A and B are shown apart, each in its own frame.
Chain A
Amino acid sequence: MYTYGRISVVSFFILLICTGFGPNAANAETLPPEDQPSLRLSMSGAFQPFSTTDINGNLVGFDADMARELAKQMGYAPELVQNDWAGIQAGLQTGKYDLICGSMAITPQRLEKMLFSLPYYVSGAQIFARRGLGALRGSRIAVTEDSTYARYIESHPEQFPEVEIYTFGSEAEIVAAMNTDKIDAFVSDRIVGGFYIKKGAAGDIEPWGDLLYREAVGIAARPDSAALIRQVNQALLALVQNGTYEKIYRKWVGNAPDVEILFAAWGDYAQFIPGPENSNRPEVNERKPGFANNLSTMLPLLARGAMLTLLLSIVTAITALGTGALIGIGTVARHTLLRRLSNAFIWVVRGTPLLVQLFMAYFALATAINRLLGFEAVGAMGAAFIALIVNTTAYNAETLRGGINAVDRGQWDAAASIGMTRGKILRRIILPQAFRDSLPSLGNNLVVLIKDTSLVGAITLIELTYVARNVVFQTGQAFLPFLCAAGFYLVIISLVTIGVKSWEARLLRSRKALGETI
């Protein structure tokens, strides 16, 4: 854990990351090519007031404004990418975006894997507790997964005696948990917590005790992006100099930034700041965006998430029905290798969690394909389709395999006895019966699939559950957004269930009760 107490320590780190820093040190070796003038910057969108999403689903906040202004200052068109905090470093390393401008504290561990810019703000870790909470002993404290706060708690158990630690995937769930009395306190950024208090977003809370430690927050880049980081540093200096930084800071944090502390953090590099320059000051939008805090503003947002959920579900369902049938037939193929491969596929896919498959498709497979082809052929959406289709294919194949084996052996005998060959028997006699008998289970697989699409939020896709979580975070209301999301899911799943049932009824007409006329 890096605590920002001693300037010399900071200087050391800055020296470490900014070697070659200087006004004229810009170097083109690793810059994006000329014909791609956009710069992709990522943030979680779940860390008010630094990053969050507005009523239209756009990223807004201190980080978002800084990202836009920095990119413009550097001569790029800003392209903001929302990514779950837990996967944000992996996204950077695999080239999903160029920079993380998402309130990432500079720590020695992170410096081993990434380059950091000069700190662009200095904050600290603070415990926030329900008003009137006496001692921490025996209380429930929440923290975001993979954060510096989580590591601090781990390494300072003596400060948290008999405390139950809850780890959430993002700050959004912590706010929801605080609002629903699932926790008594949480550790977060002091500015973030101050914002909650001002807005009442996380219920009636107050800072508990002193600042745990200070931390300097920087913009992270891949280790091979030294030139890019130098550009960021220059742009940051320019924004501080021309007052843009202060405007953005005031807009989101509410007070003027403590430039002394920031400069101290810059340590020895303060001397490189160029003189005042009042040429072209970029305009900062001072108006704050609106947030979805009632049903009428919430529903369109959720509906958009539901559309993505529906799209993912429909395309996957249709595709996986065909591929599932192929693999299912593969398990009863006469060809031994084909049979083994089919069974191995089912075994591997059913034996691993969908979330892992999503990450593999997104971070490993998609990245490999894109590198091979030399352009962004498979994005988050493509990766989500791959993972969902592969997953559902395996379950459908297993269902169908069971259905095929459940068909009476006598059917094979009867068909063979009239001279039908194996392929024909399968196609005309066995599969229709297996499919008809498997349809309820296949429908069930489909329902599971629809619910499982909620996992694609982990790879930056803004589907229904993800939207609901964001709305919860923006408004501090835990109940209504989730209730609406549940309603959307229920509608989608009901429609699908009705469809499958009517199909089933058509296929089952041959089973109708004795004497009924056809």
Chain B
Amino acid sequence: MTANPLVEIETRDLRKSFGELTVLDGVDFKVRRHQVHALIGPSGSGKSTFLRCLNLLEYPDAGEIFWKGEPVRYRTMRPSELSRHRTKMGMVFQHFHLFPHRNVLDNVVEGPVQVLGTPTRKAREQGMALLRQVGLEDKAKAWPAQLSGGQKQRVAIARALAMNPEVLLLDEVTSALDVEMISGINELLTGLAEGGMTMVVVTHDLAFARQVADCICFFDHGRIVESGTPERVLEQPDSTRLREFLSSFRT
């Protein structure tokens, strides 16, 4: 195929099952540069699994993945290639997954030093700059256990950003947070989006999706049933499944 410079990642007919359970049932998807893609859909529809297939935390059973038009040969990849593929996209998880035995700054610095080979000193300077960006400069020496949920998620975002990723994958990053923490994280993400960061955001927060996303995809039973601009998808849904899904939010 001819590389479209505006497409970072593309999947074609991506399939994945866990035993009998089909979780991804042929997903075609394009991640466009500088755009924010929101994935919505009922629980168990395969959103997280799809996200994890993009950076190969999960291996698809079938289908193709392209990075900037180049096929990703995930079946025959060597560990070093796998590592390089993953560093191109940062991932933030619902439950943060900070390294509990490392302080905040060391959590952020681990990737650059260990994977990219950045000199420790430089990595720390960059790490401090990132912590400043997420508003946690004063917590650099704190342990993860001493932080609130919102603070932990900021550290996790800083940790992902420290790898200088081209795409950010976010899986329900505000779902485990108290209400008063959510808007802060959403503001942070909005800021990143405005800065031109390419993002794939799995979320149940439709207001946030509408505000930040350039494109919303509706997942159901392992397929993308509908996709388009937020206005189109949220206000003029075509399928009954999407209408049902949206109506469940209004009550």
Could you tell me if A414 and B93 are in contact, using CB atoms closer than 8 angstroms? yes
A side interface size, CB within 8 A: 29
Could you tell me if B87 and A419 are in contact, using CB atoms closer than 8 angstroms? yes
With A410-B95, A428-B110, A511-B143 already in contact, the answer to whether A418 and B101 are too (CB < 8 A) is no
Interface bits B56-93 vs A (CB < 8 Å: 1, else 0): 01000000000000000000000110011011001101
Q: Is A424 an interface residue (CB 8 A)?
A: yes
Segment 201-227 of A: residues with Cβ below 8 Å from B: none
Could you tell me if B97 and A411 are in contact, using CB atoms closer than 8 angstroms? yes
CB distance from A25 to the nearest CB of B (A): 75
From A425, which residue of chain B is reached at the shortest CB distance? Answer: B114
Chain B, interface size category, equals: 35 or more
From B87, which residue of chain A is reached at the shortest CB distance? Answer: A419
Q: Is B145 an interface residue (CB 8 A)?
A: yes
Could you tell me if B57 and A518 are in contact, using CB atoms closer than 8 angstroms? no
Interface bits B110-153 vs A (CB < 8 Å: 1, else 0): 11001110000000000000000000000001111110000000
Q: Which of B57, B84, B114, B156 has the most CB of A within 10 A?
A: B114
Q: Is B100 an interface residue (CB 8 A)?
A: yes
Could you tell me if B111 and A420 are in contact, using CB atoms closer than 8 angstroms? yes
Chain A residues touching B, majority SS: helix
Q: Is B103 an interface residue (CB 8 A)?
A: yes
Residues in chain B near residue A429, CB distance under 8 A: 99
Could you tell me if B115 and A418 are in contact, using CB atoms closer than 8 angstroms? yes
Could you tell me if B145 and A512 are in contact, using CB atoms closer than 8 angstroms? yes
Residues in chain A near residue B234, CB distance under 8 A: none
CB distance from A207 to the nearest CB of B (A): 70
Q: Is B55 an interface residue (CB 8 A)?
A: yes
Residues in chain A near residue B98, CB distance under 8 A: 414
User: Considering the chains assembled together, what is the distance between the CA atoms of A510 and B144 in angstroms?
Assistant: 8
Select which of B95, B102, B163 is within 8 A of A419 by beta carbon: B163
From B163, which residue of chain A is reached at the shortest CB distance? Answer: A418
Could you tell me if B146 and A512 are in contact, using CB atoms closer than 8 angstroms? yes
Residues in chain A near residue B100, CB distance under 8 A: 433, 510-511
Q: Is B159 an interface residue (CB 8 A)?
A: yes
Could you tell me if B97 and A419 are in contact, using CB atoms closer than 8 angstroms? no
Q: Is B157 an interface residue (CB 8 A)?
A: no
Could you tell me if A514 and B83 are in contact, using CB atoms closer than 8 angstroms? no
With A408-B97, A410-B97, A510-B100 already in contact, the answer to whether A418 and B146 are too (CB < 8 A) is no
Q: Is A417 an interface residue (CB 8 A)?
A: yes
Q: Is B160 an interface residue (CB 8 A)?
A: yes
Could you tell me if B86 and A418 are in contact, using CB atoms closer than 8 angstroms? yes
User: Considering the chains assembled together, what is the distance between the CA atoms of A424 and B87 in angstroms?
Assistant: 15
Could you tell me if A417 and B55 are in contact, using CB atoms closer than 8 angstroms? yes
With A414-B93, A417-B86 already in contact, the answer to whether A424 and B99 are too (CB < 8 A) is no
Residues in chain B near residue A518, CB distance under 8 A: 103, 141-143
Q: Is A422 an interface residue (CB 8 A)?
A: yes
User: Considering the chains assembled together, what is the distance between the CA atoms of A512 and B142 in angstroms?
Assistant: 10
Q: Which of B84, B101, B103, B160 has the most CB of A within 10 A?
A: B101
Could you tell me if A512 and B86 are in contact, using CB atoms closer than 8 angstroms? no
CB distance from B110 to the nearest CB of A (A): 7
Could you tell me if A417 and B101 are in contact, using CB atoms closer than 8 angstroms? no
Select which of A408, A413, A419, A512 is within 8 A of B143 by beta carbon: A512
Q: Is A58 an interface residue (CB 8 A)?
A: no
A selection of 11 A-B contacts at a CB cut-off of 8 Å is: A410-B97, A414-B98, A414-B156, A418-B110, A418-B159, A419-B86, A428-B114, A510-B100, A510-B102, A512-B143, A518-B142
Binding site for B on A (CB under 8 A): 408, 410-411, 413-422, 424, 428-429, 432-433, 436, 507, 509-516, 518
Binding site for A on B (CB under 8 A): 52, 55, 57, 79-80, 83-84, 86-87, 90-91, 93, 95, 97-103, 110-111, 114-116, 141-146, 156, 159-160, 162-163
Given A410-B93, A414-B99, A417-B90, 20 further pairs, Cβ under 8 A? A411-B97, A411-B99, A413-B97, A414-B93, A415-B99, A416-B57, A418-B90, A418-B115, A418-B159, A419-B111, A419-B163, A420-B110, A420-B115, A421-B79, A421-B83, A432-B101, A433-B101, A509-B143, A510-B143, A518-B142
